[in-house]
Amino acid sequence: MNPDAVIRADMLRKEYGDVTAVDGISFEVPPGESFGLLGPNGAGKSTTMKMIGGVSRRTSGTLDIMGLDPDENGPEVRAHLGVVPQQDNLDEELRVRENLIVYGRYFGLPLSYLRPKADELLEFAQLTDKAKSRVDALSGGMKRRLTIARSLINEPKILLLDEPTTGLDPQARHILWDRLFRLKEQGVTLILTTHYMDEAEQLCDRLIVVDKGRIMAEGSPSSLIRDHSTREVLELRFGSERNATIGAELVGIGERLETLPDRVLIYADDGEAALEQVSARGLHPLTSLVRRSSLEDVFLRLTGRSLID
């Protein structure tokens, strides 16, 4: 057990009626770490986040945030946190800057602190010129950045981000990642859920792969890839009709074979060599691609399913 851990969960469970959303998960997060929960929709990531965030009571298990039990000390736990929910819930009827100030008031922060702080955060979120705009006039990426700025109004040491970049275009995602990096550099502990493997690889020091409410694997992105996949992956496309049938003819190439509806994946440490073996067998895919293994492959390996259906 890590005595410094800011979050400690042990056999955490959450049931909604007959449905078990979180099925006994345990983890610890030391201060300053960037910790991810990776899994498909419905894996129990958001439910776990809600329990950590002190807004959803757990069914059983123990949970400790900064030495406090969120079910007993909800306000005290939440006072430590910044929360970026999956769905933006900004005050659309208030102006951009006022959103930050009003939110700070919930923490009992005085206006003498909030006014300059709001300006500082708008600068950080690159929204200074939008300070007086209505929220409903902002783009999706701007709203997301405003939500992040709002979550920082109380200078939290722990930031919870539930699917921070879902629904954003690539450029908006990169801006957001950059901002999150800066927070990480400032020593903020980041807890984030995502079903994007590139996001997890970019942002997480360590992550747990979650499926059906359970932890399938735990480790740094690179160690997970090392432990559960090969160095490279050869992706072959034979046309949607033939992928399944041709799979049988590829047996023996690489360490492992995965047949998906749209492509065949061959796991091998040397992708090019594997491709040569494919050609040697007289098979000619429509397209072929050699790439490095990713967390997507880890997930596929562990669950037999893709992250994004």
Partner 1 sequence: MTDTTGKQIPTAAPALRAHPPAVSAARARRWGAFFYAEQVLRVMRGYSWSFIMYSIAQPAAYLFAMGVGLATLVDANGAAAFGGVSYLQFIAPALIVSAAVMTASGDFSYPIMDGFKWRRVFYGPHASPLEPQQIAAGHVLATVLKFLVQSVAYFVIVALFGGSPGGWGWMSAIVATVAGLSFGLPLMAYSSSITKDSGQFALVQRFIVVPLFLFSGTFFPLESLPLAVRWIGWISPVWHGTELGRVFTYGMEENPVLTVVHVVFLLATAASGWVLTRRQFVKRMGQ
CA 148 to CA 85: how far, in whole Å?
9
Q: How many CB atoms lie within 10 A of CB 134?
A: 12
CB-CB contact of 27 with 21 (8 Å): no
Q: Does 223 bind partner 1 (CB under 8 A)?
A: no
CB-CB contact of 191 with 29 (8 Å): yes
- 132 burial via Cβ count (<10 Å: 0-12, 13-18, 19+): exposed
CB-CB contact of 264 with 289 (8 Å): no
Stretch that binds partner 1, among 31-39, 69-77, 178-186, 250-258 (CB under 8 A): 69-77
Q: Name which of 134 and 231 has its Cβ closer to partner 1.
A: 134
Chain mean position to CA 223: 17
Q: How far is the CB of 121 from partner 1 (least distance, A)?
A: 10
Q: How far is the CB of 200 from partner 1 (least distance, A)?
A: 23
Q: Name which of 67 and 239 has its Cβ closer to partner 1.
A: 67
Q: How many CB atoms lie within 10 A of CB 75?
A: 10
Handedness of CA 79, 81, 86, 90 (dihedral sign): positive
CA 151 to CA 83: how far, in whole Å?
5
Q: How far is the CB of 98 from partner 1 (least distance, A)?
A: 6
Q: Does 299 bind partner 1 (CB under 8 A)?
A: no
Q: How far is the CB of 142 from partner 1 (least distance, A)?
A: 17
**Contact map string, positions 73 to 112, toward partner 1, x by CB under 8 A:** xxxx-xxxx-x-x-x-xxxxxx---x---xx-xxxxx---
CB-CB contact of 290 with 230 (8 Å): no
Q: Does 188 bind partner 1 (CB under 8 A)?
A: no
Residue from 34, 46, 48, 154 in contact with partner 1 (CB under 8 A): 154
CB-CB contact of 267 with 254 (8 Å): yes
Q: Does 44 bind partner 1 (CB under 8 A)?
A: no
CA 133 to CA 297: how far, in whole Å?
43
Would you call 111 helix, strand, or coil by DSSP?
helix
Q: Does 274 bind partner 1 (CB under 8 A)?
A: no
Q: Which two tokens stand for residue 89?
A: 């819930």
Q: Does 164 bind partner 1 (CB under 8 A)?
A: no
Residue from 34, 46, 48, 56 in contact with partner 1 (CB under 8 A): 56
Q: Does 131 bind partner 1 (CB under 8 A)?
A: no
Stretch that binds partner 1, among 1-9, 29-37, 54-62, 122-130 (CB under 8 A): 54-62
Q: Does 159 bind partner 1 (CB under 8 A)?
A: no
Catalog residues that contact partner 1 under the rule CB under 8 A. 16, 53, 55-57, 66, 73-76, 78-81, 83, 85, 87, 89-94, 98, 102-103, 105-109, 113, 116-117, 120, 150, 153-155
